């Protein structure tokens, strides 16, 4: 039996458009009223298995952090980066934060970083949440959802693994099992690679 995952869907699947081969065209519509249960088989071609290979260009972005500073993905060249899109109202996002943080701490000394990109919420909502449930990484604010849309996902959480050269290599739509052997294998392979420049 296939493992079942939960995610909040944010929009409808559209025809391939501006994103080309990077993924399906997402039409972000804001928080769903409830979590939709989605079997992995229904996500074939987008997120089958723990992680799927990313195809196409990696969207460049810069966003304001919760600390008021501006951060660009390009600043992290030379490191392996987890880009995780999340929201405070997303149950699966909340559930995976502690396990995701444990993975970040495990590999941080070998060059792993986390960019936790909040989807369309103001700092006044995000900060109290993070004060209660700390996120072990840099929290960024995608206040209009534009960066999320460019990555072409369809729900939250959505996670992308970016290599040291700044190229997205793997992704997952929906909650990840952060103890999964396959996930750790991908991270191990990426941190072992040389490439990019130190941030």
* Average model confidence (pLDDT) across the chain: 80
Q: How far apart are CA 65 and CA 110, in angstroms?
A: 23
7 falls in which pLDDT band (50, 70, 90)? Answer: low
Predicted pLDDT at 50: 82
Predicted pLDDT at 145: 96
Q: How far apart are CA 83 and CA 114, in angstroms?
A: 6
CATH code that applies to domain 51-192: 3.40.30.10
Name the 3-class secondary structure at 119.
Answer: strand
Sign, Cα dihedral of 149, 157, 85, 105: negative
Q: How far apart are CA 30 and CA 85, in angstroms?
A: 13
179 falls in which pLDDT band (50, 70, 90)? Answer: very high
Average pLDDT over residues 62-73: 97
Cβ atoms of residues 27 and 17 within 8 Å: no
Predicted pLDDT at 8: 61
Predicted pLDDT at 54: 92
pLDDT at 15 over 50: no
| Of 15-24, 131-140, 148-157, the least confident | 15-24
Which is more confidently placed, 17 or 118? 118
Q: How far apart are CA 62 and CA 60, in angstroms?
A: 7
Q: Of all residues in the chain, what percent carry a pLDDT higher than 70? A: 73
Question: What digits encode the pLDDT tens for the residues 106-120?
Answer: 999 999 999 999 999
β-strand partners of 52: 171
- pTM score: 0.78
């Amino acid at each position: 039996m296939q493992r079942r995952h939960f995610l909040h869907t944010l929009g409808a699947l559209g025809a391939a458009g501006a994103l080309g081969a990077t993924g399906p065209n997402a039409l972000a519509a804001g928080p769903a009223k409830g979590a939709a249960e989605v079997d992995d088989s229904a996500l074939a071609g987008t997120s089958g298995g723990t992680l799927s290979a990313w195809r196409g260009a990696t969207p460049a972005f810069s966003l304001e952090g919760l600390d008021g500073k501006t951060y660009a993905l390009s600043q992290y060249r030379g490191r392996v980066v987890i880009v995780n899109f999340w929201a405070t109202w997303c149950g699966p996002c909340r559930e995976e934060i502690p396990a995701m943080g444990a993975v970040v701490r495990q590999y941080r000394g070998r060059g792993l970083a986390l960019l936790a990109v909040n989807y369309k919420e103001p700092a006044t909502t995000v900060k109290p949440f993070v004060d209660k449930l700390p996120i072990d990484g840099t929290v960024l604010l995608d206040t209009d959802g534009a960066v999320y849309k460019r990555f072409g996902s369809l729900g939250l959480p959505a996670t992308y693994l970016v290599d040291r050269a700044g190229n997205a290599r793997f992704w997952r739509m929906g909650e990840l099992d952060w103890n999964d052997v396959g996930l750790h294998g991908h991270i191990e392979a990426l941190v072992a690679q040389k490439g990019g420049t130190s941030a």
